[in-house]
Structure 1
Amino acid sequence: MADQKRQKPLRADAERTVQTILTAAERVLSANPAATMEQIAEAAGVARTTVHRRFATREALVDALSEWATRQFHDAVVGAPVTAPPLVTLYQVTANVLRVKIGWGFAMSRRTPQDPEVAQVHADVLERCDTLFLRAREAGVLRPDADLLWVRQVYYALIHEAAQNRADDLTASPNAEVDTLATQVVDTLLHGLGGPGASGSTLTHP
């Protein structure tokens, strides 16, 4: 029993070390995709041997970084409250996903849809999104005749553009910035960009 108690802090410490290395790797590789293990170790504030002990090669480190980001993306969606009103859940999911996409942009770009783990994550996310948008339509957040496939595609596009355009603009208050950005994404999805005169209007062609 005494041995087990002594091992727990070591496991926790090892986990913290890995997280520190992965966080530093994301930051360094985002700025310089060709950065070395030594540069990552320096940014993480650990010895080079520590990085090599956790990750045998640079490729292993990048793979671990991508796997970590994929899990974060999955948790960002499935971890949102499913019993809350759909609008509340939509805002929460949007903010969660933006944090992952902005904070782990390099890692998220390294894995393809053909990767089995990525494919499973995206399948889970798609199912959650479809359920969320169905609840939103039933609750009147979306129009009764809203095409949910189109809604999801527009939503994905808005999140992608928001993350791409704002990844370098986060200030000293990144959480506040992401919350504001999430509000813009959801408001644009639900209300568009038209003014009061656009309500009920139709386009005419010459």
Structure 2
Amino acid sequence: MKVTKEKLIDAAVVALNSDESATIEQIANVAGVTRRTVHRYFNDRNTLVQECKETMLRVCNLNMTGAYHSSEQPAVQLENMFYAALEVGIQYSFVKKLVKRNQYTDLMNNHELAYDNVKADWFKLIDLLQQQGAINRTLSIPWIYNLFGGMVDIAIEAQQAGDVARNDIRKFAWTSFKGSIGLQ
């Protein structure tokens, strides 16, 4: 087996999803390599965790962008973006816990938002759906933003706890989210 940086990151994700305090040794065991091999690619555990975070953000942006462009219908775009966020959230659940969602106001005031097309597209999509009357207009975009992230968090917790059949999680989470914002 050829060891690559990507394979070590994948192993770290598996190990850290099971145990957020997993050591380099435990990550190496999941990868089927020695601790020394892991250290060839990463100076320390923090560097490896940071690489996992950056990988998650890249995957999330790619999947959310694809979901946004998957349809011309705003409600379908939002649903597909929800599923993309859910899948990435489940895949990288330990990273999601480390990366707290930014406050909506911080995002809107942050100059970096101009470079983050995914968030900007999501905000525009919600605004458009409200203008069309498809989403309850009494709900603010910051509230909807937190509902979106919160519903993803709840779905991840349900999946990890095994309380809900894995096949039902997507359906239940989407039904709950769209109902909470008045989307038909």
Partner of 1:31: 18
* 8 Å contact from structure 1 (residues 133, 148) kept in 2: no
For structure 1, the 5+ residue unaligned runs are 1-12, 193-206
- The structure with more radius of gyration: 1
| Kept after mapping to 2: 8 A contact 1:130/1:148 | no
Structure-2 change in CA distance of 1:21 and 1:191 (3 Å): same
Normalization by structure 1: what TM-score? Answer: 0.66
Distance (whole Å) between structure 1 residues aligned to residue 35 and residue 177 of structure 2:
46
Aligned 8 A contact 1:159 1:185 in 2: yes
162, 168, 182: which one aligns with 1:169: 162
> Within 1, Cα distance between the matches of 2:57 and 2:140?
25
Q: Does the CA contact (< 8 Å) of 1:70 and 1:108 recur in 2?
A: no
* Identical amino acids, percent of aligned pairs: 23
Partner of 2:33: 46
RMSD: 3.1
Cα–Cα, structure 1 residues 156 and 67, in superposed 2: closer, same or farther, change >3 Å? same
Change (3 A) 1:154 1:81: closer
Q: Deviations over 1:102-134 (max 9, x none)?
A: 1111122234568xxxx7579644422221223
Structure 2 unaligned blocks of 5 or more? 103-109
Question: Among 147, 153, 156, which residue is 2:139 paired with?
Answer: 147
Q: Is 2:137 the partner of 1:156?
A: no
State whether residues 73 and 97 of structure 1, in contact with CA within 8 Å, keep that contact through their aligned partners in structure 2. yes
Q: Which TM-score applies when normalising by structure 2? A: 0.72
Q: How far has the Cα of 1:43 moved from its partner?
A: 0.7
Contact residue 26 and residue 65 of structure 1 kept, 8 A: yes
- The residue that corresponds to 2:62 in the other structure is 75
The structural deviation recorded for 1:98 is 0.8
For residues 29-88 of structure 1, the C-alpha deviation after alignment (integer angstroms, 9 at most, x for no partner) is 232333222221121123433311111222211111122122222223223233431222
**One-letter amino acid of the structure 1 residue matched with residue 139 of structure 2:** D
Other-structure match for 2:52: 65
User: How many residues of Structure 1 are paired with residues of Structure 2 in the alignment?
Assistant: 168
